[in-house]
Amino acid sequence: MREALGVRHDVLLDPLHFLAATDDTRRSCSVACWSGTRLIGVLYATAHYLKGFATGYAIGGDYSGRGLLLCAPEDENLVLAECLKRVIDGGIHSLHLRFLPRDYSKLNLDGLGMKFLDAVIPGDRMELKSSFEEFLATLGKHTRRNIRACTRKTETAGIEFLPSLSKAEYQAAIERLNAETDFPADPLHLARDERLLELHGGGERMGLRASDGTLIAVLCGFRLGGRFHLLTQLNDAFYGRFSLSLVLRGYAIEQMIKTGCTELQFMGGSSLTFGRFCRPETYRSIFVDRKTGTAALFKRLCGIIVSALLRAGRPVPETLSLLASGYLEEHQLSERTVLRPAAMVFQQREVS
């Protein structure tokens, strides 16, 4: 079916890739949709578990709106409706769907509260061009200048780019950097990376090494055809003045171009620096909740508490917002999507 729909190279719509990305807290609650004997669609979703117990919360699609639905455009709403019914019947009471719709009509299913958030967001795929200089020319003048200036600064400091790290080198660096970085990665996320790298031939690991031999920034990913899929990057906070994230991605892109890659896909969503130079996409979040039952009463109460805390100017615990799910107000729901960071990316693009 993937081949018939022309998405054979979209790894996020490969069942093997989807299953490799699940972990102990999320289990598949995916649904296949048939018309007679013909498979017409698949909805990929994961149910959340806490210490082995189902919570009734589930999520589908990634931060960039990919990996939710495998179906023909004309079947999208039919597949979505039928799969939603089956997921809810299977014990899920709260479901957050993130995708790039092709049918912009809005579903209305009996017994379900459905809130839709639509927006244009930066894409997650970037064209790499045939040379690094040609690629740089596609960026804004400030970004281009920053990449060159920061790269010269690291070279002067004796920091060098390593295009190929062993698995052992990478994991030793990750263990140290994750304890020191301003933005530590979830161990489950890192374990997922290793499963995905293994699934795709071992993947590739790159890094920056300081003059004393210490790895101060690393990233990993894998390639499929001419597309490089970037998974995770970690940087040493002590070297923050060197803009390691920007420098390492610049070096990595230059390496990708040299080795034949024509496109870069940011698997966790594009960064503020590069996102504004990716092709924009039309994104939709749907928050689906059962309207009746104990879970509905509990989520409604959580939503009321969240609103009261915000009115009082008090911080809202992240867990409380998660529990309220679709019972949050629309502006609160937008904080649970890519909408706010997307607005920041577009704002930066205006001055780039």
Angstrom distance (rounded) from CA 288 to CA 277: 32
Q: What is the pLDDT of residue 180?
A: 73
Contacts for 175 with CB less than 8 Å, ≥ 6 apart: none
CB half-sphere exposure, 59, CA atoms < 13 A:
18
Residues 248 and 163: beta-carbon distance below 8 Å: no
Q: How many CB atoms lie within 10 A of CB 136?
A: 17
For the chain, the helix, strand and coil percentages under 3-state DSSP, each to the nearest 5: 40, 25, 35
> 3-state class of 317 per DSSP?
coil
CATH 1.10.3470 fits 11-121+280-350, yes or no: no
Angstrom distance (rounded) from CA 188 to CA 34: 33
From the first residue on, what is the mean pLDDT of each consecutive set of 10 residues in the chain (352 residues)? Answer: 87 93 92 94 96 95 92 95 95 96 92 93 91 93 92 96 96 89 81 95 96 95 94 90 94 96 87 80 94 95 95 94 93 83 64 52
Q: What is the pLDDT of residue 340?
A: 72
- Which tokens in the block code for residue 208? 């920056």
Angstrom distance (rounded) from CA 291 to CA 111: 6
**Fold type of domain 125-267:** Aminopeptidase (3.40.630)
Angstrom distance (rounded) from CA 270 to CA 123: 7
Q: What is the pLDDT of residue 349?
A: 56
DSSP 213-273: S-EEEEEEEEEETTEEEEEEEEE-GGGGGG-HHHHHHHHHHHHHHHTT--EEEETT---HH
Residues 274 and 144: beta-carbon distance below 8 Å: no
Residue type, 124: D
Q: What is the pLDDT of residue 261?
A: 96
Angstrom distance (rounded) from CA 342 to CA 124: 11
Q: Is the dihedral of CA 147, 11, 217, 205 positive or negative?
A: negative
Q: Name the residue ranges covered by the structural domains of the chain.
A: 11-121+280-350, 125-267
Q: What is the pLDDT of residue 78?
A: 95
11-121+280-350 and 125-267 share one CATH topology?
Answer: yes
